Structure 1
């Protein structure tokens, strides 16, 4: 023991549990399948085509499919992206004002996901407009919560 300052004390403590990758995964009650999300996706699309964007935003930000597999999440994301890109830029501020803080956090998750995939990057200007309005109205709180949350959309 030449350098006693570099000893890992936790290695000698039997009660000190090491975290594994499995420990860091968020707990879910059950996985959501695509068949269970189909009605919600059709509700999103019908609300968007009828012009009821507030209802569509509330549907997409309430109970997102965190426990779904990646293909199911991508199907749902494409419906969300369709809703977000149909809204006129002049209406974004009024819609964001009517969302709760939890719904705003979920919206920020979808905006970040949109900016990270090629389909969303094609609509980058619209997604940045959404992001700008959210941060103007809510501050950077939703962004910080997005960065620290383990649940992904």
Structure 2
């Protein structure tokens, strides 16, 4: 520790020119395509159509496709929004309580993404109700994780 003055701190400064934006984005081993994700989207819709909303939310938030292109992410978000809109408001708290903390974080990401899209803004009241109940159950932890996580939906 006596050699702390010899550490090149400029190597860790993102504005020093040594690092570019691509260096800061974590790499993912396999890129998921829309064909890979299509069975999951179909299963989400079948759960929602059969009325098994709890399983649909569990599926949607358990294996989120972070390592894919934006168009594929949008298709997945549309499917999740379809499920979220179909839930009765009386069931929302019980569904959120059934999620683990990582799934609650993913749900917060979907809610933020939905509220930023025109399709989600049409059902903004429903998404805000989900958001309110999520913060009642989990506190502000999912919000902090959303703000600090580089992975987006």
TM-score with structure 1 setting the length: 0.89
Equivalent residue pairs, number: 144
The answer for the alignment partner of 2:150 in structure 1 is 150
List 4+ stretches of structure 1 deviating above 3 A. Answer: none
Whole-angstrom CA distance in 2 between matches of 1:19 and 1:142: 29
| Structure 1 residues not aligned, in runs of 5+ | 1-8
Over the aligned positions, Cα root-mean-square deviation in angstroms equals: 1.9
The answer for the alignment partner of 2:44 in structure 1 is 44
Which is greater in Rg?
1
Whole-angstrom CA distance in 1 between matches of 2:10 and 2:105: 36
The answer for the alignment partner of 2:132 in structure 1 is 132
Map of 1:3-152 to 2, 5 A cutoff?
A: 13=8, 16-17=11-12, 18-152=18-152
Whole-angstrom CA distance in 1 between matches of 2:71 and 2:38: 13
Give deviations 1:23-63, integer Å, cap 9, x for gaps. Answer: 11122111100000010000000000111111001100011
Whole-angstrom CA distance in 2 between matches of 1:108 and 1:127: 10
The answer for the alignment partner of 2:15 in structure 1 is none
TM-score with structure 2 setting the length: 0.89
Q: CA deviation at 1:14?
A: 8.8
Q: CA deviation at 1:15?
A: 7.4
